[in-house]
Amino acid sequence: MTLSVRRWVAAGTLFGVLWMFVRGVSLTPRSLLTTFLVGLGVGMPVAYVFRRLYDEQFDVIRSLRALPAIFLYLIAFTREIIVANIDVTYRVLAPGMPLRPQVILVPLRVRTDLGVTTIANSITITPGTLTLDYDPDENALYVHGIDGRDPDSIVEPIRQWEDYALVIFNEERSPSDPAPDIRVHPPGYPPEPKTDEPEPLETMLDEERGDSNTEESR
């Protein structure tokens, strides 16, 4: 069973709900309804103007089914934020605690732009880890960790978030599919891309002067 509405209509309704939080209302039926209608009056035209940015249809039933996964994602993410904050604080207060920076290439099962972006931002927001880059060829993230002695401990929460993201974003793969193997790299990854830009003029002139001096000394 599917129940679809135009996505710009769903977006306009969401704008109306957000307006209630932005505006701040008293918890009375009249105040709630009035503020919501005002937000709806502003949100619907805006959503319609930018309707080309959204998919044509929005599956309400599928979105409702994704609510448990969204809730579990938020719980797992909040728990990891708390644990990571405690860990980083302890390392600051105990300078003797070793730091072993490491870069890990984490291939993903999620493939949609929104799914990959959600995972990448969650990693960056979590203290102690940072998303350095995304490799579209391997569909993988370069993740930097302040202590890479146990790479699996860094990747474990990422895989948990990914399990929920596969459901939330209706990905082709499922949480039961095996996760790809990670690769550990030394600090400095990913390498800087090589450019074909010409050398600066001053550098070229210095090299010519050097060659001229060498010939004169001969």
Q: Are 175 and 167 in contact (CB under 8 A)?
A: yes
Domain with CATH 3.30.70.920 in the chain: 66-185
8-state DSSP, 192 = P
Write down the pTM of the prediction: 0.65
Which residues on neighbouring strands pair with residue 128, listed in sequence order? none
Instruction: Look up residue 124 and give its two tokens.
Output: 């960056």
How confident is the model at residue 2, as a pLDDT?
45
Give the CATH number of domain 66-185.
3.30.70.920
Contact 51, 8 (CB under 8 A): yes
Cα Rg of the chain (Å, integer): 25
The 10 Å CB-count burial string (b at 16+, else e) for 7-26 is bbebbbbebbeebbeeeeee
Rounded distance between C-alpha atoms, residue 104 and residue 22, angstroms:
40
Angstrom distance (rounded) from CA 38 to CA 50: 19
From first to last of its 218 residues, what are the pLDDT tens digits of the chain? 444 556 667 777 777 777 777 776 677 888 888 888 888 888 888 777 776 655 555 566 666 777 898 889 989 998 999 999 999 888 888 877 777 888 999 999 999 887 898 899 899 989 999 999 999 999 999 999 988 888 899 999 999 999 999 998 888 888 989 998 988 876 555 555 555 555 454 554 555 555 555 555 55
Q: How far apart are CA 88 and CA 125, in angstroms?
A: 13
Tokens standing for residue 89: 């604080």
